[in-house]
Amino acid sequence: MLGLSLTRVEADQWIALRSHFGIEGFYCRSGIEGVHEKGGVEGRIDYFRRNHFVPVPEVASLGELNEAVEQSDRQDDTRRIGALPRAVAEHFALEQPLLMPLP
């Protein structure tokens, strides 16, 4: 890099959301140094989208869509990721006590 100093400007809506939920902002490093940091999370979101929302579900109401999402989420709870020893729900059960309560 040419000695450029990158500064991050957060959107007001993001600042409000972070403040409301007590989230500490963490940002991936830019460029080649941070290329490995984003893929894991984005890959999991994309996996869920491809496997549960492609093709787009045909529903008659928001309530029906919410039920379809909940059913997909319950189905995904039994999935094992790679060679990990526990299913998704088992990993969440270990992590859940460490999460802050919602405001």
- How far is the C-alpha of 26 from the C-alpha of 14, rounded, in Å? 12
Residues 6+ apart with CB under 8 A from 69: 52
- 94 burial (CB, 10 Å; 0-12 / 13-18 / 19+) is exposed
| Domain layout of the chain by residue ranges | 11-56, 59-98
Look at the pTM and tell me if it is higher than 0.85. Answer: no
Peptide bond into 57 cis (omega under 30): no
Each of the 103 residues of the chain gets a pLDDT tens digit; together they read 455 556 778 999 999 999 998 888 878 777 777 777 767 667 878 888 888 888 988 999 999 999 998 998 899 899 998 898 999 999 999 999 998 887 7
Contact yes or no for 38/26 (Cβ under 8 A): no
Name every residue whose Cβ is closer than 8 Å to that of residue 34 and which is 6 or more positions away in sequence.
Answer: 28
Helix 35-52 × helix 62-76 angle, to 10°: 120
